[in-house]
């Protein structure tokens, strides 16, 4: 029986991924900043641990308490929607601390045990914002794009030790708490000159029919965790899959001899 440690399990993709792995008979270590046992079904295969990926002491304690694991799922993240011009650099740093440096810290914490066993898988959850440009999410996209490059490089670096590293790229998930969880940090980030444009962007998101569900992400995380083919990218959700196909078609049309790494 394999064990997965999943970050950011208090809601959305992380919570559904924990449920999915449990249903398939895995042992799951569900982590969240403020642990809540009522969010997940009672199971002998479940442990809930406190973890704040932005605090080195919390990361070290969680990894120590978890013991040996087979898969690390770096799902914890925070959203940000607003005009970059109006976004304080402290807020930008806050986003990077969780979405970028938090992921790196978790990877660095588990690599020694994976390398020692010459086995293990790291799954980093990013965003379809890395596949195509979206307005008013510049800082958020930058934090996730950094992890795309980091993961691709790390996959090569750790392959010799039997460690697999994967990317799951969710699309637009209107049923998640992306907006509600970030209300406080988004206050004042749409100044007057940007309001008409922001409203048109929000309306455009509301018109999207092919969106990403939590179950889409859970399935792709599970596929990535079990993949032995060397595939790097796992788009999750109909919109993310469509963007991936569009990106590949553009590359093939404009650079016939180029290869999309990891596809």
Residues catalogued as catalytic: 140
The alpha carbon of residue 218 and the mean position of all alpha carbons in its chain are separated, in whole angstroms, by 11
Burial 143-174 (b: 16+ CB within 10 A, else e): bbbbbbebbbebbeebeeeebbbbbbbbbbbe
Give me the torsion for CA of 253, 151, 144, 221, rounded to 10°.
90
Taking Cα atoms as reference points, which of 144, 143, 119 lies closest to residue 69? Answer: 119
CB 95 within 8 A of CB 80: yes
Do the beta carbons of residue 129 and residue 141 sit within 8 Å? yes
Count CB neighbours of 177 within 10 A.
14
Kind plus residue range of the DSSP H or E element containing 168: strand 163-170
């Amino acid at each position: 029986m394999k064990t997965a440690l999943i970050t950011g399990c208090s809601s959305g993709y992380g919570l559904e991924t924990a449920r999915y792995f449990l249903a398939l008979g895995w042992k799951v270590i569900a982590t969240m900043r403020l642990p809540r046992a009522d969010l997940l079904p009672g199971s002998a295969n479940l442990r809930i641990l406190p973890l704040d990926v932005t605090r080195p002491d919390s990361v070290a304690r969680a990894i120590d308490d978890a013991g040996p694991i087979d898969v690390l799922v770096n799902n914890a993240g925070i959203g940000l929607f607003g005009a970059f011009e109006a976004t304080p650099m402290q807020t930008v740093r806050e986003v990077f601390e969780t979405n970028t440096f938090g992921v790196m810290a978790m990877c660095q914490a588990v690599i020694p045990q994976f390398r020692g066993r010459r086995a293990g898988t790291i799954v980093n959850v990013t965003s379809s914002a890395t596949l195509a440009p979206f307005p008013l999410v510049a800082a958020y996209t930058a934090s996730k794009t950094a992890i795309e490059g980091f993961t691709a490089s790390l996959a090569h670096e750790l392959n010799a030790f039997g460690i697999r590293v994967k990317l799951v790229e969710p699309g637009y998930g209107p049923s998640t708490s992306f907006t509600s969880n970030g209300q406080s940090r988004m206050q004042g980030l749409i100044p007057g000159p940007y309001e008409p444009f922001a409203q048109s962007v929000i309306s455009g998101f509301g018109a999207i029919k092919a969106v990403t569900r939590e179950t889409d992400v859970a399935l792709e995380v599970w596929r990535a965790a079990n993949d032995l083919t060397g595939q790097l990218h796992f788009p999750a959700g109909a919109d993310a899959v469509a963007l991936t196909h569009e990106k590949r078609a553009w590359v093939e049309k404009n650079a016939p001899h180029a290869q999309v790494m990891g596809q």
